[in-house]
Amino acid sequence: MRIPFYIAIPVSLLAIFVVWWVGTRNIDFLRPPSEARLTEIRKQAMASLPVSQAKRDAISIVVPTLDTEVLTVEPTELIEPVEIGDLNSSPTLYTYSDRAPEGADKLLRLAAALENQGAFQRALLSYERVIDLAQGNPEQIQKALLAIRRLRPTLTLWNNEPELAQNAIIHIGTGEKFAEVLPDVLDSITQDLRLASSGLIKFSSKLNIGRSIQSTDAPTPVALWITGAGQDSPSTDVLSFTSNDPDTLRNDLLKTIFNLIRTHISKTSSYNPAPEAGDEPMPALQSNITRLLWNEFGTSLNPKPAEQ
């Protein structure tokens, strides 16, 4: 039997009203709950929450990553401020030698601070102390070398007066095969070495051709050593190599010259040995041997006569 709409709708509304009245007739919607009731509600809510077993502290911050790993972020270490010192006085080749015992890291931070102040000559000296005096690790030494190679080309030579430069003579003994090409190669090398030493050393060369060494297709031996300008001046060791290719002769000569200088400084001074050159001797001559080491090298080959 189908119930008409005019009967079904009033009956439905009446049923809803009766259920609502029965459920809410004893409830006072206008009066707020008592403090005791609120306390009971809070306890019930806290009891329904899950309890974490992890211990928390006020230092470590736990950050969950997407792969559910947990990273602990420690407080940032305070970095000691760098004391730049007086920037008005003229620096010397030995500037910041007194800072070397403080470590390579402080010298690197000092150099960066000096660069920020526009004191690029002083910054270069600080980077050089990482190489020749501080006990830096390989990473710190590499940072210093890169900075030296970046700054050196932007600055003028330390010594712009050729008459004040110390003299060094490159001696070469070889056969007739390279007799024609060596003079031009040596002229170019001596000019490059003067720039590499920042004008501190004036290089010249002396070529000794051995007549007994015949010009053949066999590799030709080439011997090198470096002396000061005086007749009885000190000398480096003698190093030699063999070559059969005039195109590689310049690079072979530069490698040997670098090793001669590096070894001589290590034997005659207490400074750190210059970092090895690898396959690129010219950049190493401009950076691995600092200007202080170049000066020491020139001084060792040209000692002042003893006072009477």
pTM of the predicted model over 0.75: no
Statement: residue 65 has pLDDT above 60: no
Q: What are phi and psi of 161, to 5 degrees?
A: -110, 100
Q: What is the mean pLDDT of residues 263-274?
A: 96
Statement: residue 253 has pLDDT above 50: yes
Tell me the pLDDT tens digit for each residue of 108-128: 999 999 999 999 999 999 999
Statement: residue 24 has pLDDT above 70: no
Would you state the pLDDT for residue 221? 93
Distance CA 272, CA 253 (A): 24
Distance CA 203, CA 205 (A): 7
Would you state the pLDDT for residue 54? 44
Tokens at 14, concatenated: 């009446």
Tell me the pLDDT tens digit for each residue of 200-221: 999 999 999 886 555 556 788 9
- Would you call 300 helix, strand, or coil by DSSP? helix
* CB distance 301 to 203 below 8 Å: no
Would you state the pLDDT for residue 16? 77
Statement: residue 56 has pLDDT above 70: no
In the block, which residue shows the tokens 């070889």? Answer: 174
State how beta strands 239-243 and 61-64 pair.
unpaired
* Residue of higher predicted confidence among 79 and 148: 148
Q: What is the mean pLDDT of residues 237-248?
A: 92
CA-nearest of 177, 174, 182, 176 to 250 is 182
Q: What are phi and psi of 76, to 5 degrees?
A: -65, 130
Would you state the pLDDT for residue 278? 85
Other beta carbons less than 10 A from residue 143's beta carbon: 19
